Amino acid sequence: MYRVQGADQKEYGPISAEQVHQWIQENRLNRFSLAERDGDPGWKPLEQFPEFAGALGPPPSGLGPTATGGLPARDAVLVPDPQAAGRTLKAPAITLIFFAIAGMVFAVSGLFLKGFFMGTWIQLIEQMNLPLDDNARAQLQAAATAGIGIFDVVQVLVGIGLNVVMLIGALKMMKLESWGLAFAAAILVMLPCGSCCCCLGIPLGVWLIVLLNKPEIKTAFR
């Protein structure tokens, strides 16, 4: 039986030689990962265990055997359990899905309720006695009575497209697939054009960016 040390300085094990072979194949361990065998105290790189030489393959060109103790622990590779990473991302990913769907609904409804929103905005300005010159008032009234134009349609399509990217990124995030797309979705939710409520999208995006950049989560993505 063996114990291995991860880049997070935690020990994992005891595990069998077969499990070590599997983790090597999954790139969760490499030749510099520190390990200890039962009955053979002392941590050393996996490349110093003859039983794993075949799985590790020859060292890269120009890289000879390491000294006892191997490279620093930060160079060891151990991807934590992907299930743990998935549980960590589940809540923010579901929240991101809600934001994406709400954003698409908001974009479509805004297209058909444009006149209503603009009329409500004019009434609010008048009720609050806010300063509004005749030119600005005329522009607002013209916007309230204008029909749906090409620019409005393009704006809605762009908003829907961005929210679709957010939705796909959130779904990929829950499956631990495509880290780049998941990160892009975290950025988009913070933008005014990508979220139906930017003030709430900013903390969600920051939360996601922090989580996605954690080594134990980033390396869990396929």
By mean pLDDT, which of 85-94, 127-136, 154-163 is the weakest? 127-136
Lowest model confidence (mean pLDDT) among 1-10, 20-29, 156-165, 174-183 = 1-10
Using the predicted structure, report yes or no on whether residue 77 has a pLDDT greater than 80.
no
Percent of the chain with pLDDT over 90: 24
Matching residue, tokens 């794993």: 52
Task: Classify burial at 128, counting beta carbons within 10 Å of its beta carbon; exposed 0-12, middle 13-18, buried 19 or more.
Answer: exposed
Element containing residue 215 per DSSP (H, E): helix 215-218
Q: What single string gives the DSSP state of each residue in 63-105?
A: --PPPTT-S-GGG---PPPHHHHHHHHHHHHHHHHHHHHHHHH
CATH architecture for segment(s) 2-75: 2-Layer Sandwich (3.30)
Q: How far is CA 94 from its chain centroid? A: 12
- Which has more pLDDT, 176 or 10? 176
- Amino acid found at 149: G
Q: Which two structure tokens, joined as six digits, stand for 181?
A: 């797309």
pLDDT on residue 90: 94
The position carrying tokens 């934001």 is: 99
Average pLDDT over residues 42-64: 77
Residue type, 132: L
Residues 73 and 136: beta-carbon distance below 8 Å: no
- Pure H helices in 79-177: 82-112, 114-127, 134-145, 150-174
Q: Please indicate whether residue 45 or residue 155 has the higher confidence score (pLDDT).
A: 45
The pTM of the whole model exceeds 0.85: no
pLDDT the model gives residue 69: 42
Whether 80 has a pLDDT exceeding 50, the answer reads yes
The answer, yes or no, to whether the previous bond of 82 is cis (omega within 30 of 0) is: no
Q: Give the pLDDT confidence of 163-208 residue by residue, as tens digits.
A: 999 999 999 999 999 999 999 999 999 887 655 555 778 899 999 9
Phi–psi pair at 40, nearest 5 degrees = -135, 75
Domain edges within the chain: 2-75, 82-218
68: left (phi over 0), alpha (psi -120 to 50) or beta: beta
**Cα dihedral sign, 91-93-94-98:** positive
Beta-bridge mates of residue 37: 2, 40
Mean pLDDT of 112-124: 63
Give the mean pLDDT of 131-152.
67
